Amino acid sequence: MPIRQLSETMINQIAAGEVIERPASVVKELVENALDAGASRIEVVTAGGGLNLIRVTDDGSGIAERELGLAIARHCTSKLSDNIHDIRSLGFRGEALPSIGSVARLSIRSRTASGDSAAEIGIEGGRVSAVKPAAANRGTTVEVRDLFFATPARLKFMKGERAESSATSDVVKRIAIAFPAVRFTLAGPDRSTLELPATNDTPEGRLARVAQVMGKDFPDNAIAIDAMRDGVHLAGHVSIPSYTRANALQQYAYVNGRPVRDKLIAGAIRGAFADVLPRDRHAVTVLFLSLDPSTVDVNVHPAKADVRFRDPGLVRGLIVGAIREALAGAGIRAATTGAAGMMAAFRPGAAPYSHPGPANGHRSYEAAYRASGSSGFDRGSDLAHSPQRPLDMGYGEARPRANGFAENEQAAFDTGPLASADARAGMAEPAEALLGMALGAARAQVHENYIVAQTRDSLVIVDQHAAHERLVYEALKNALHSRAVPSQMLLLPEIVDLPEEDAERLAMHSEMLAKFGLGLERFGPGAVAVRETPSMLGETNVQQLVRDLADEIADNDTIETLKERLDRIAATMACHGSVRSGRLLKAEEMNALLRQMEATPGSGTCNHGRPTYIELKLADIERLFGRR
Ligand code: ADP
Ligand code: MG
């Protein structure tokens, strides 16, 4: 076949293959256009999951009659001047409307502020109809019928009405979070109506919009993030560690107001939470990154959901640092949420408070959480049913005896032999100074695992096992990050064959890797020789480790993975090394534990995100007994 130029319609259909994947992509493009036009109200209607009908109406600037033809012509846009590096609008490629018009029946009716009347243009499977007068208010209505009628192959890939209409809801919600001052409605015979009244573009307004979209459970269980580094601003909210989901779908990220699905951001969130969440749980996050448009490339893929940062290390560092810092102060929050739930559970007539059987020590805590009114989110109850309940090391059952490692860690709390009479005396008369500390003075140990302490105005209950586990973990991590990690020599160096770029990248980072106990060097073209591995990893698959590291460096230009991996090892060891529950403690030991908790950031939650202590205000207790 001779070479020939493709027809305009063919070119548009090829573009549509990338831009218009399913009905939700059409909705995304049309809503973005409405937002770029400065709309304050956007109404979306769908039928048949969007395959029969999608109609988006806005009150934005409108399109002048004489420009209607251009709007549906390929490579025509009003948004790009001549600098591809300075993109401030959601659209810029000038290909959404012609792409849609090449695979569906599209009509655009529009009126500008200065126009005396509206006009309309149509395009069906690439065939354009003449512009004709129409009746409409200021703004634009774009109607798309029979999506993919012109490309039946694509139509076959659609998932069914329900899946498509829910994908559309997701798109609208995702984008609505970034535009709180715009009112959105999404309706149609194929769905229940979603209405998002306008709030405003203040931190409160943004949070109110988030609550409209995600339910008000989230703000109740979220911590604010606000950090700035080298001209990059990060704002938003992340869930506290006791509030998680089974997948990462509830992680919303925006770059300069554009919803993105970015590996680097997702990885940074995972890294930031690695300390406080089991691997199969995911935080809920809404994060807004703002940075100079010239330092981020959004022209990566036609769907515009991918971005490339000029300085990925900076962005990752900012996200990880800001979230970790916020989490460090959030232990207290977990404790207060727990306390609120507990008070609710205690109240007469509250949710069933099932018998806390001997093998189910934290049942009461779960009952408390359920009673606190948590709705669709799965925290306490979910943990109970998860096969992996990471901390379920057999509360109330026989516990492993202290082994060498744990013994060392626990020595820190030992205060030597003590006459039991002294211990009792210590309990009877708590020192005034101790009462003023955040976790107060220990008064008793009950059920061999709970320390009951007293401050001036509250009662504190500490789960000694969970608390100790956290302290061991923090101690291990400190050792890990403050000096070089111990490594073990391999008997024979292991040669790992890699693409040359990967080998080069690893060699460039060899000094850094050595700090983590991984000793490697170049071994001719396309290979590295590994001589030492971190002892903590034990028998490890060196080939896999090195390849993962190469990928990680290529993706993020950081070596966070190894660090996180080591952190996780530390967490596992801490989990197995903590045998404090079931052990009777002396008053001094209990107080030492409390003081150490106060001094350790992040000790308010255990490694799995559950609180390590609960504080009940005296005032609340008095209220329970009808004294107030
Ligand atoms: P892009 O958004 O990348 O510019 P589109 O094909 O989506 O490309 O739209 C082409 C042009 O049509 C836009 O640049 C804009 O000028 C105009 N347009 C599209 N939708 C609207 C709308 N809802 N309101 C006003 N103008 C619009
Ligand atoms: Mg567009």
Amino acid at 114: S
Cα–Cα distance for residue pair 272/214, rounded to 1 Å: 22
Could you list the beta-strand ranges (E) of 10-61.
41-47, 53-58
Which ligand 1 atom lies nearest to the CA of residue 96? 6
Q: Which of 572 and 457 is assigned the larger pLDDT?
A: 457
Q: What is the whole-number distance in angstroms between the Cα of residue 214 and the centre of ligand 1? A: 29
Which ligand 1 atom lies nearest to the CA of residue 92? 3
Cα–Cα distance for residue pair 275/598, rounded to 1 Å: 18
Q: What is the pLDDT of residues 54-68, one digit of tens each?
A: 999 999 999 999 999
Q: What is the whole-number distance in angstroms between the Cα of residue 178 and the centre of ligand 2? A: 17
Would you identify the CATH topology of the domain 484-575?
Answer: Ribosomal Protein S8; Chain: A, domain 1 (3.30.1370)
Instruction: Indicate which residue's Cα is closest to atom 17 of ligand 1.
Output: 71
Nearest Cα to Cα of residue 490 among 524, 448, 539: 539
Domain boundary assignment for the chain? 8-196, 215-329, 350-476+580-624, 484-575
Cα–Cα distance for residue pair 247/391, rounded to 1 Å: 20
Determine the distance from the C-alpha atom of residue 283 to the mean position of all C-alpha atoms in its chain, rounded to a whole number: 5
pLDDT at 561 > cutoff 90: no
pLDDT at 132 > cutoff 80: yes
Q: Work out the mean pLDDT of the chain and round it to a whole number.
A: 80
Instruction: Indicate which residue's Cα is closest to atom 2 of ligand 1.
Output: 91
Which residues does 145 contact at the CB level (< 8 Å), separation at least 6? Answer: 52, 53, 104, 105
Cα–Cα distance for residue pair 617/621, rounded to 1 Å: 6
Cα–Cα distance for residue pair 560/508, rounded to 1 Å: 15
Q: Which of 223 and 402 is assigned the larger pLDDT?
A: 223
Q: What is the whole-number distance in angstroms between the Cα of residue 20 and the centre of ligand 2? A: 12
User: Which pair of structure tokens corresponds to residue 560?
Assistant: 């966070």
Cα–Cα distance for residue pair 186/620, rounded to 1 Å: 44
Which residues does 531 contact at the CB level (< 8 Å), separation at least 6? Answer: 489, 490, 493, 519, 520, 521
- Residue-level pLDDT at 141: 98
Q: What is the pLDDT of residues 12-31, one digit of tens each?
A: 898 888 889 999 999 999 99
Rg (CA), the chain: 30
CA angle 340, 346, 350 (to 5 degrees): 95
Indicate which ligand has the atom closest to the C-alpha of 55: 1
Q: Which of 157 and 431 is assigned the larger pLDDT?
A: 157
Cα–Cα distance for residue pair 8/74, rounded to 1 Å: 8
- Residue-level pLDDT at 281: 82
Contact criterion met (CB below 8 Å) for 452 and 587 = no
User: Which pair of structure tokens corresponds to residue 541?
Assistant: 């698959």
Is 77 close to ligand 1, i.e. is its CB under 6 Å away? yes
Q: Which of 136 and 565 is assigned the larger pLDDT?
A: 136
Q: What residue spans of 41-93 are helical by DSSP H? A: 68-71
Residue 532, phi then psi, degrees to nearest 5? -135, 145
At 132, is the secondary structure helix, strand, or coil? strand
Is 123 close to ligand 1, i.e. is its CB under 6 Å away? no
Poorest-pLDDT segment among 56-65, 326-335, 401-410, 617-626: 401-410
Is 59 close to ligand 1, i.e. is its CB under 6 Å away? no
- Residue-level pLDDT at 597: 87
| pLDDT, average across residues 196-221 | 91
- Residue-level pLDDT at 581: 54
Is 212 close to ligand 1, i.e. is its CB under 6 Å away? no
Would you identify the CATH topology of the domain 8-196?
Answer: Heat Shock Protein 90 (3.30.565)
- Residue-level pLDDT at 416: 44
Indicate which ligand has the atom closest to the C-alpha of 34: 1
User: Which pair of structure tokens corresponds to residue 550?
Assistant: 């190469």
pLDDT at 552 > cutoff 90: no
Nearest Cα to Cα of residue 56 among 110, 122, 116: 110
DSSP 67: G
Tokens 């025509």, residue located: 76
Q: What is the pLDDT of residues 336-386, one digit of tens each?
A: 556 666 666 665 544 333 333 333 333 333 333 333 333 322 333 333 333
Is 35 close to ligand 1, i.e. is its CB under 6 Å away? no
pLDDT at 586 > cutoff 50: yes
User: Which pair of structure tokens corresponds to residue 534?
Assistant: 């971190």
pLDDT-derived band at 628, boundaries 50, 70, 90 = confident
Domain 350-476+580-624: state its class.
alpha beta
Poorest-pLDDT segment among 21-30, 285-294, 416-425, 461-470: 416-425
Q: Which of the given ranges, 345-354, 413-422, 526-535, has the highest pLDDT on average?
A: 526-535
Q: What is the pLDDT of residues 223-252, one digit of tens each?
A: 999 999 999 999 999 998 878 888 888 899
Domain 215-329: state its class.
alpha beta
- Residue-level pLDDT at 492: 86
Q: What is the whole-number distance in angstroms between the Cα of residue 64 and the centre of ligand 1? A: 11
